[in-house]
Amino acid sequence: MVIPPLRRKALRDLRRLWAQALAIALVLAAGVATLILGSGAHRALTETRDRYYADYRFADLSTDLVRAPLSLVDDIRAIDGVLQAEPRIVKPGRPDIEGMAEPASVLLVTVPQADGLNRLHLRTGRLPEPGMADEAVVSQDFAGAHGLQQGSQLAVVMNGKRRLLSITGIALSPEFIYAIGPGEMMPDPHRFGIVWLQRDTLEQAFDLEGAFSNLVLRLVPGIPENRVIEEVDRLTAAYGGSGATGRAEQTSHAFLDAELEQLGAMFRVLPPIFLLVAAMLVHMTLSRLIMLEREQIGLLKAIGYRSSQIAQHYLEFVGLIAVCGILLGFAAGAWLGAGLAQLYARFFSFPFLHFGTDLRVYGLAAIVTLAAAMAGALQSLRGVLSLTPAVAMAPPAPADFRHSSRGVIALVPLRQTGRMVARHLLHWPFRTASSIFGMAMAVAILVASLWSFGSIEHMIRVTFNLAERQDVKMVFAAPEPMRALADLRSMPGVLKAEPFRLVPARLTNGNRSKRLAIEGRPADARLSRSLSPDLKPMPMPQDGLIISEALADSLALRPGDLVEVDFLAGRRASVSIPISGISVGYVGLGASMDIAALGRVTGEGPIISGANILLDEADQSAFLAAANAAPATGFLNVTDLTVSRFRATLAENITLMITVYVTLAAIIALGVVYNFSRIALSEQGRELASLRVLGFTRTEAASVILLELAVVVLLAQPLGWLIGHGIGRAMVAAFSSDLYRVPFVMGRRVYATASLIVIAAALLSALVVKGRIDRLDLIAVLKTRE
Amino acid sequence: MNQGEVVIETRGLTKTYQNGPTPVHALRGVDFTARRGELLVILGQSGSGKSTFLNILGGIDRPSSGAVIFEGQDIAGLGDQALTRYRRDHVGFVFQFYNLVPSLTALENVALVTEIAARPMRPEEALEIVGLSARSGHFPAQLSGGEQQRVAIARAIAKRPELLFCDEPTGALDSATGILVLEALEQANRSTGATTLIITHNAAIQQIADRTLRFADGRIVDEVMNTERKRPDQVSW
């Protein structure tokens, strides 16, 4: 096959300029990879979830009740829009595992029927056989964490009675993709799991013969959820129904949703940045190449090549770079995608994870990338192709610096080399600006990712050092009278115990409504406190409600407003309560009031849901053992365990993400700096050689280019901080959900770290260029006409 | 003039470099002496070794063997730093293609050197010597070829070099402009007392020199003393 000469030239140019081409290709690859990774992971997660939900009939609605007769289910099924309703018993239990000191809890759930909702995906074994009361299926992660297998025995304390269960199977459920224990911030399979039991077993254990405590429903597709919820709440109110919730408020679903939201937000931002920077690099590099080949272009035109053929030649050259970038991006995207999928597989319990190759995404990535590169190329081709062959073949006039702010720069007291630097930067304002912008984007990517460390530490400090200062939170299995506190105080190691009351309620402001638990606390609580936005403890008001910022935003409430509160327990009072203050809170929606006032408005009087406890460290294990054994205990949250789990989980995820971001930012920084300095060197090689001949040392001569580079890099820093700050803010907005809000903590350390990383990458590039300057052949450069 | 002290001399200077597989002997043992303030013209065909000779004297190239003695010190074996120092303090260069920094004005181009030199003249003074005071604020793109070359001469002499090396300084210029440049060089030679070596193809230029050397095949094949130096405006080509 005969390769046309121009194509051969394109290949040789590519080989000659391989380092610059590679730098551009890497930036393009980063764009392609993030696009593939982001949309791929998003799609994989969405599709996996949707398929899982559909195949295993994940319920649309669910509601907890105290106790309702099974006959109520028929009334529920008769509600317009209800396709299927399944009564269940769902109760907390405590696993009694030998050698396990820290408190753990399990959720006991009725085994779904064969044609029921929230079906189980059995990993191994079988479902419990009818009549075999002690048979149970256990959730996979919990089983894994404790080495439980089919045939293992597991002791569980149910309603105060210890019962030895025989495990018949290990399963996953669409209801618990993200299995988070009560009162916890992160899933911890060691301390929380699901145990599915026969209905009879649970009926007996919890005295619920002929009754149920939880209802799951499937709705006719397209039916407005709210109408059904209203009906369900009306029918279940008399049975202690605590309000039906849709999928949006179902813990596992909501966490998964938040994750998808984050993923989507992140990957809408990154690929455009890379493609923009790459287009700019292509433009910069190709403009210089064309400038150097101006005479060749004139010659080609003179001997009869059409402009379109010449344009095609350069587009082929850029196309080759783009194709390299695209292929690298495909490979990196697929590789990182597999990594991300594994991370999700570890984090979320899916029976399968579909990380398929969506050719459309690959196609889109390729087209967008090619387009970005071509746009950069066409921009630089325009000028030269319009020249006549005679003009093109004549050497270009020397660069005219008359207009490059001569006046201003002449006035500034600079050394001549400093003047050279200033005038160069001003002479090519587009190149300078785009290089600054490119570097700024590298800084911005880092700023926008690195702030999360500080943010998490801030979150932990505020939540656990300032707001929730208890060592242990004990939640009773059922509300207890206030005197239970006295028993608690007599337990080993208890230094202080403050009661709290949790009452499920629906808060409504106009057409906005949220369901949550209102927490009642003593007016002078010292352990669990609400914090004002300036992080000062807020005293519990006499009769008002303090709500978290997230809830205030969600319901559009401000201090002084009245909010409708429908309590979903006890006498189910409906009252209007004034908002007394807005508190800071990062996890969940929060509303709190004085515990006595809460008792008054609900009509329940002085009953409590549990207590926040300060422990003598020396007696912690004695306390936990006693608390575990106490019949009243529902579950225990040990703050240290919660925090360390939170840290460990986030550390793992964030370390991975930060590694990716740092790599991506370094690619941009290297790409921009290398191309910028190579072009500057190509333009100024002659001047540098002159300087050497005039008696400048290697370092002095190199400093002209390096100083130019330094100015670009330095100017990019504040811009990068600003853009990164903006991206960070946008991310905070995108990540905020009812489940958690991310505090925006942007400190000097974030800016400094981001800048240091980018500057390090720039220095690396600069060193390479310095090496080239050092090897300049003085004589050869000076003997040639430019 | 010829009786002045020796500023630079070479002994047995050779330079061989590889051009592909074949070694090229650019210099084959050159012995040479120049005295303070002398103006020498070096003639020779392309490839005769004259530029290599000049580059070695100027410290931008190194000989394969032999000695280059400047003010009693052999610079042939100096390292990069010392050679840079030598160029910075003692040598002025003028090239065929001017090699001005386009982003600096005429005055700033000269100041580029005076900023780093040990005992420079004022940049304005250097421009005055070459007759370009009126153009000091102009950038190279605003100057004619002859003017650019005169700026280059001003830049070369502003450090008050002992040695001024000019490689085809009029090569890219027409004769009228070339004469202006030669006048500037001569003026520079007189006013600074720099030993001046001018490489040229143009035999007519030898009339302005104290002495003319002819290079061929890497050697000095002819040496002519000029009893009477002509002024550049008396020369024509």
Question: 3-state secondary structure string, A458-524?
Answer: HHHHHHHHHHECCCEEEEEEEEEECCHHHHHHCCCCEEEEEEEEEEEEEEEECCEEEEEEEEEECCC
Mark which of A197, A217, A247 sits at the end of a domain: A247
Number of helices (H) and strands (E) in chain A: give both, helices first. Answer: 22, 22
Burial of A237 (0-12, 13-18, 19+ CB in 10 A): middle
pLDDT band with cut points at 50, 70 and 90 for residue A408: low
B84 to A697: CB separation less than 8 angstroms, yes or no: yes
Per the structure, the complete domain to which residue B178 belongs is given by: 36-60+79-234
pLDDT number for residue A342 = 72
Q: What type of residue is A363?
A: G
B101 to A687: CB separation less than 8 angstroms, yes or no: yes
How many Å lie between the alpha carbon of A783 and the closest alpha carbon of chain B? 7
pLDDT number for residue A407 = 61
pLDDT number for residue A579 = 96
Closest C-alpha among A627, A636, A632, A631 to residue A493: A627
SS3 B87: helix
Q: Which of A693, A703, A782, A785 to mutate to test the interface with B (most CBs of B within 10 A)?
A: A693
> Is pLDDT at B61 greater than 70 in this prediction?
yes
B103 to A420: CB separation less than 8 angstroms, yes or no: yes
pLDDT number for residue A410 = 67
A 417-436 residues with CB < 8 A to B? 417, 419-420, 423-424, 427
Q: CA–CA separation, B219 vs B230, rounded Å? A: 27
How many Å lie between the alpha carbon of B228 and the closest alpha carbon of chain A? 33
Give the phi and the psi of residue A63 in degrees, each rounded to 5: -145, 145
How many Å lie between the alpha carbon of A379 and the closest alpha carbon of chain B? 25
Closest C-alpha among A617, A621, A539 to residue A583: A539
A416 to B115: CB separation less than 8 angstroms, yes or no: yes
Task: Kindly list the distances between the CA atom of residue A424 and the CA atoms of A420, A647, A670, A680, A694, in Å, as whole numbers in the listed order.
Answer: 6, 49, 21, 9, 20
Two structure tokens written together for A28: 């393009």
Claim to verify: residue A53 and residue A73 sit in the same structural domain: no
Claim to verify: residue A367 and residue A378 sit in the same structural domain: yes
Which of A427, A694, A779 is the closest to B55 by Cβ? A779
B141 to A401: CB separation less than 8 angstroms, yes or no: yes
How many Cβ pairs closer than 8 A exist between chain A and B?
101
> Is pLDDT at A304 greater than 50 in this prediction?
yes
How many Å lie between the alpha carbon of A646 and the closest alpha carbon of chain B? 58
Claim to verify: residue A582 and residue A512 sit in the same structural domain: yes
A699 Cβ under 8 Å from any chain B Cβ = no
Q: How many domains does chain B have?
A: 1
pLDDT band with cut points at 50, 70 and 90 for residue A344: confident
Mean pLDDT of B205-231: 92
Q: Which residues of B touch A420 (CB under 8 A)?
A: 101, 103-104
pLDDT band with cut points at 50, 70 and 90 for residue A294: confident
Claim to verify: residue A76 and residue A188 sit in the same structural domain: yes
pLDDT number for residue A293 = 82
Closest residue, chain A, to B97 (C-alpha) = A785
> Is pLDDT at B2 greater than 60 in this prediction?
no
Which of B61, B117, B139 is the closest to A402 by Cβ? B139
How many Å lie between the alpha carbon of A17 and the closest alpha carbon of chain B? 23
A175-202: pLDDT as tens digits: 999 888 887 878 889 999 999 999 999 9
Mark which of A230, A247, A264 sits at the end of a domain: A247
> For residue B5, is it within any domain?
no
Q: CA–CA separation, A241 vs A108, rounded Å? A: 18
Q: How many domains does chain A have?
A: 4
> For residue A582, is it within any domain?
yes
A227-281: pLDDT as tens digits: 999 999 999 989 988 889 999 888 889 888 888 887 787 777 778 887 888 888 8
Of chain A, the end-to-end C-alpha distance in Å amounts to: 37
Burial of A376 (0-12, 13-18, 19+ CB in 10 A): buried
Claim to verify: residue A262 and residue A117 sit in the same structural domain: no
Closest C-alpha among B218, B225, B223 to residue B12: B218
> For residue A622, is it within any domain?
no
pLDDT band with cut points at 50, 70 and 90 for residue A89: very high
Q: Which residues of A touch B93 (CB under 8 A)?
A: 693-694
Q: CA–CA separation, A549 vs A591, rounded Å? A: 10
Mean model confidence pLDDT for chain B: 90
Give the phi and the psi of residue B212 in degrees, each rounded to 5: -125, 130
A370 CB contacts (<8 Å, ≥6 apart)? A319, A322, A326
Which of B105, B116, B141 is the closest to A696 by Cβ? B116
A98-153: pLDDT as tens digits: 888 788 899 999 999 888 999 999 999 999 998 888 999 999 999 999 999 999 99
Q: Which residues of B touch A690 (CB under 8 A)?
A: 99-101
Per the structure, the complete domain to which residue A371 belongs is given by: 1-58+248-394
Q: Which residues of B touch A779 (CB under 8 A)?
A: 55, 60-61
Closest C-alpha among A178, A175, A183, A202 to residue A105: A183
How many Å lie between the alpha carbon of A673 and the closest alpha carbon of chain B? 22
Which of A404, A687, A693 is the closest to B60 by Cβ? A693
pLDDT band with cut points at 50, 70 and 90 for residue B1: very low
> For residue A634, is it within any domain?
no
B68-122: pLDDT as tens digits: 999 999 999 898 889 999 999 999 999 888 888 888 999 999 999 999 888 899 9
Mean pLDDT of A67-71: 95
Q: pTM here?
A: 0.81
Claim to verify: residue A242 and residue A252 sit in the same structural domain: no
B101 to A697: CB separation less than 8 angstroms, yes or no: no
> For residue A52, is it within any domain?
yes
Q: CA–CA separation, A62 vs A242, rounded Å? A: 10
Q: Which of B46, B103, B104, B115 to mutate to test the interface with A (most CBs of A within 10 A)?
A: B103
Mark which of A247, A275, A308 sits at the end of a domain: A247
pLDDT number for residue B237 = 75
B60 to A779: CB separation less than 8 angstroms, yes or no: yes
- Say which residue the tokens 């020199």 belong to: B209
> For residue B202, is it within any domain?
yes
> Helix crossing, A251-292 with A429-460: angle to 10°?
160
Q: Which residues of A touch B80 (CB under 8 A)?
A: 698
B141 to A399: CB separation less than 8 angstroms, yes or no: yes
> For residue B25, is it within any domain?
no
Closest residue, chain B, to A396 (C-alpha) = B141
> Is pLDDT at B175 greater than 60 in this prediction?
yes
How many Å lie between the alpha carbon of A648 and the closest alpha carbon of chain B? 55
B141 to A693: CB separation less than 8 angstroms, yes or no: no
DSSP A45-76: HHHHHHHHHHHTT--SEEEEEEEEETTHHHHH
Claim to verify: residue A134 and residue A224 sit in the same structural domain: yes
Closest residue, chain A, to B167 (C-alpha) = A783
A400 to B141: CB separation less than 8 angstroms, yes or no: yes
Which of A424, A696, A783 is the closest to B103 by Cβ? A424
How many Å lie between the alpha carbon of B227 and the closest alpha carbon of chain A? 33
Closest residue, chain B, to A687 (C-alpha) = B101
A778 Cβ under 8 Å from any chain B Cβ = yes
pLDDT number for residue B229 = 87
A414 Cβ under 8 Å from any chain B Cβ = no
pLDDT band with cut points at 50, 70 and 90 for residue A770: confident
> For residue B196, is it within any domain?
yes
B181-211: pLDDT as tens digits: 899 899 889 888 999 999 998 888 999 999 9
Claim to verify: residue A499 and residue A593 sit in the same structural domain: yes
Q: Which residues of B touch A778 (CB under 8 A)?
A: 60
> Is pLDDT at A785 greater than 70 in this prediction?
no
Closest residue, chain A, to B60 (C-alpha) = A693
Which of A694, A783, A784 is the closest to B112 by Cβ? A694
State which of A77-81, A303-307, A668-672, A741-745 shows the largest mean pLDDT. A77-81
CATH number at residue B219: 3.40.50.300
B105 to A410: CB separation less than 8 angstroms, yes or no: yes
Q: Which residues of B touch A698 (CB under 8 A)?
A: 80, 84
Q: Which residues of B touch A406 (CB under 8 A)?
A: 105, 139
Q: Which residues of B touch A687 (CB under 8 A)?
A: 99, 101-102
Which ranges of chain B would DSSP assign to H, the alpha helix? 50-57, 80-90, 106-114, 123-129, 145-157, 175-192
> Is pLDDT at A405 greater than 80 in this prediction?
no
How many Å lie between the alpha carbon of A768 and the closest alpha carbon of chain B? 20
Claim to verify: residue A418 and residue A539 sit in the same structural domain: no
> For residue A46, is it within any domain?
yes
Closest residue, chain A, to B87 (C-alpha) = A695
Q: What type of residue is A486?
A: A
Among the residue ranges A167-181, A654-668, B212-226, the one predicted with the least confidence is A654-668
> For residue B65, is it within any domain?
no
